[in-house]
Amino acid sequence: MIFAGTPDFALASFEALVESGRTPVAALTQPDRPAGRGKKLTASPVKQYAEQQGIEVMQPVTLRDADVVSELEALRPDLLIVAAYGLILPQNVLEIPTHGCLNVHASVLPRWRGAAPIQAAILAGDATTGISLMAMTAGLDCGPVFHTAEVTIGDDEAAGDLHDRLASLGGATLVEHLDDIVAGKLVAVEQDESLATYAPKIQKQDAAIDWTLPAPELARRVRAYNPFPGAFFYAGETRIKVWRATAVNNDAEPGAVMQSDRDGIVVACGAGALRLDELQLPGKRRAPAREFAGQFELAGTRLV
């Protein structure tokens, strides 16, 4: 077995496999990337764990390289398990493992195929989401599904918290059903293409707050972009991040700061208003609204 994954979401499945006695012969993960303020070259969570466990690490820039394909073939894997790997698997790689390639995906497919299913579920106001164990094909998250596990999305749940719950669920679900999948006891069911939705990769600019939008939608955006990239707005030249917010009733011109004092900060939206509960100035730590109001003057201003 080979495991392919890169971030913390993948690490949960990787750890679950190893802890259950199913140690992969190798781990595929993205090349080291610059990270942090110093932009120091940093190994992925999957690589760090693999090295701790003495598991061979492979970090190809692409899987379309003939030498990389030959290396994978030489390992003669019976299965390739993928979770948030980040590289496209071409058809010749999909055909290498005896039992094919299995993907741990953070949504109940066919809803939210693509790179950011957790954020997409929150943005859309979905009541539930979950994990899918999917047989990989050449298309984007469109292979048949062996098993799904659902969870309820909390009314105030941020993407980071939901990510952690789904990562844990993904590892547990994978370990619980892996043997039955390999043994052919679980039959994969084709997805209904008419129900498919797409969750594109998040861009930093997506998190900019547009005060003309309804307050409930903006509250979901704040949750969806917490912790990355962090919802934000500008007050003059100052870029302010919003980490927690609540939709409330109000009626004023969008962007008007209705209140900014120790009792809270309220900004009018296209419909209703957004109560900003936790904010952050550049170079400062996150602060509750009552503390932030003393750090930065917003009262009486109009945000655009």
Same-domain status, 113 and 260: no
234 lies in the same domain as 191 = no
- Residues 44 and 158 occupy one common structural domain: yes
What would the two tokens of residue 157 be? 């749940």
The Cα–Cα gap between 259 and 262 comes to 9
Flag whether 301 is in a domain: no
In a domain, 258, yes or no: yes
Q: Are residues 27 and 104 in the same domain?
A: yes
Q: Which domain holds residue 193?
A: 2-199
- Non-local (6+) Cβ contacts of 104 within 8 A are 10, 13, 81, 82, 83, 84, 131, 132, 133, 170, 171, 173, 174
- Please give the C-alpha separations between residue 264 and each of 164, 283, 285, 289, in angstroms, as whole numbers: 29, 22, 18, 5
Predicted pLDDT of residue 27: 98
More confident residue, 36 or 118: 118
21 and 62 housed in the same domain: yes
Q: What is the pLDDT of residues 76-128, one digit of tens each?
A: 999 999 999 999 999 999 999 999 999 999 999 999 999 999 999 999 999 99
CA-based R_g, the chain, Å: 22
The answer to whether residue 300 sits within a structural domain is: no
- Write the DSSP assignment of 80-142 as a string of letters: EEEES--S---HHHHTSSTT-EEEEESS-TTTTEES-HHHHHHHTT-SEEEEEEEE--SSSS-
Question: Which CATH number does the domain housing residue 223 bear?
Answer: 3.10.25.10
Backbone φ, ψ for residue 190 (5° rounding): -60, 145
pLDDT at position 144: 98
Q: Mean pLDDT throughout 219-248?
A: 97
pLDDT, one tens digit per residue, over 162-195 is 999 999 999 999 999 999 999 999 999 999 999 9
Q: Are residues 176 and 278 in the same domain?
A: no
Of 182, 199, 216, which one is at a domain's C-terminal end?
A: 199
Domain CATH for 102: 3.40.50.170
118 lies in some domain: yes
- From CA 272, how far away is CA 200, in angstroms rounded? 28
Please check the confidence at residue 148 and state whether its pLDDT lies above 80. Answer: yes
- Report the share of the chain in percent with pLDDT over 90: 93
pLDDT score of 37 more than 80: no
Cα–chain center distance at 80: 21
Whole-angstrom distance, CA of residue 241 vs CA of residue 234: 9
The CA distance from 126 to 59, in Å, is: 36
Number of domains in the chain: 2
User: Band of the pLDDT at 38, cuts 50, 70, 90?
Assistant: confident
Question: What are residue 5's DSSP bridge partners?
Answer: 83
**Looking at residue 40, what is its pLDDT?**
87
Q: Are residues 132 and 263 in the same domain?
A: no
Strands 56-58 and 26-28, bridge-based pairing: parallel
Q: Which of 19-33, 37-51, 224-238 has the lowest mean pLDDT?
A: 37-51
| Each residue's pLDDT tens digit, 255-276 | 999 999 988 899 999 999 999 9
CA-CA distance, 18 to 1, in Å (whole number)? 11
Mean of the per-residue pLDDT values of the chain: 96
